Amino acid sequence: MAEDALFSIFMDGIFIKNFLLIQFLGLCSFVGVTKDVKSAAGMSGAVVFVMAMASTVSYMIYTYILVPTNMQFLDLISFIVVIAALVQLVEFVVRKNIPSLYRSLGIYLPLITTNCAVLGAVLLNENAGYNFIQSVVFGIAAGLGYTIVMLMMSGIRERSTFVNVPSAIRGLPQAFFIALMLSMAFVNYFWVIPI
């Protein structure tokens, strides 16, 4: 696994191991922030940044601090601290430079800390035994895959606001049915791209 070509890791991250539709990581933001395209795009940007940074920093911490000192059992705790610190950083930057985006993201920006997509990317890197470059590539690819699905989902939901559906389906069930159709399309990448 560790000898995988960078391109196949990249495609894996975006399509075959798509975080939202195949692995079910980061679903809270998937149903929570996809009511309009603008906040979905902002959220995705923040997630891509945090994910790439987290993959880089946590790889370094794991390889250069935890492994030499034989403290691999602390991996989970140190990763979550790294992610929390990165999210604080992103929050400062967004609040200072793009206040309108900051308001529309609301509670979801601090919640990236508990967004399983970011920690999931870090843990999957560790499990697969990727080296430094591979970890960073996988982190970025996973972020891009997240972005693509968030944009598709928010585009569809924005246009289907005025669709006349039974009131029991309006809201979350409708979001899940849209996700169902997107997911069906993504499952087929299993067969299209040989792993």
Partner 1 sequence: MDPLSEFIRGITRDNPTFGLVLGLCPTLAVTTSVENAIGMAAGTAFVLVCSNMLVSSLRKQIPSTVRLPIFIIIIATFVSIVDMIMEAYSPSMYAALGVFIPLIVVNCIIIGRAEAYANKNNVFYSFIDGLGTSTGFLLVLMLIGGIRELLGTGQIVTFGYTLVNLPINPSITTMILPPGAFLTIGALMAIVNYQKEKKMAKGG
Can you give the binding site for partner 1, defined by CB under 8 A? 21-28, 31, 73-74, 76-77, 80-81, 84, 113-116, 119-120, 123-124, 127, 167-169, 171-177, 179-180, 183-184, 186-187
| Smaller CB separation from partner 1, 57 or 123 | 123
Minimum separation from the CB atom of position 124 to partner 1 (A):
6
Minimum separation from the CB atom of position 129 to partner 1 (A):
14
Question: In angstroms, how far apart are the furthest CA atoms of the chain?
Answer: 61
Minimum separation from the CB atom of position 125 to partner 1 (A):
10
| Smaller CB separation from partner 1, 99 or 195 | 195
What long-range pairs does 94-97 form, CB within 8 A, spacing at least 24? Answer: 94/42, 94/46
Q: Which amino acid is at 147?
A: T
Minimum separation from the CB atom of position 186 to partner 1 (A):
8
* Tokens found for residue 157: 């939901």
| Smaller CB separation from partner 1, 76 or 93 | 76
| Smaller CB separation from partner 1, 31 or 98 | 31
| Smaller CB separation from partner 1, 56 or 174 | 174
Minimum separation from the CB atom of position 184 to partner 1 (A):
5
CA distance 41 to 20: 15
Q: Find, among 192, 161, 178, 166, the residue nearest to 20 by Cα.
A: 178
Q: Find, among 42, 53, 15, 62, the residue nearest to 150 by Cα.
A: 42
Measure the CA dihedral 106/98/14/76, to 10°: -60
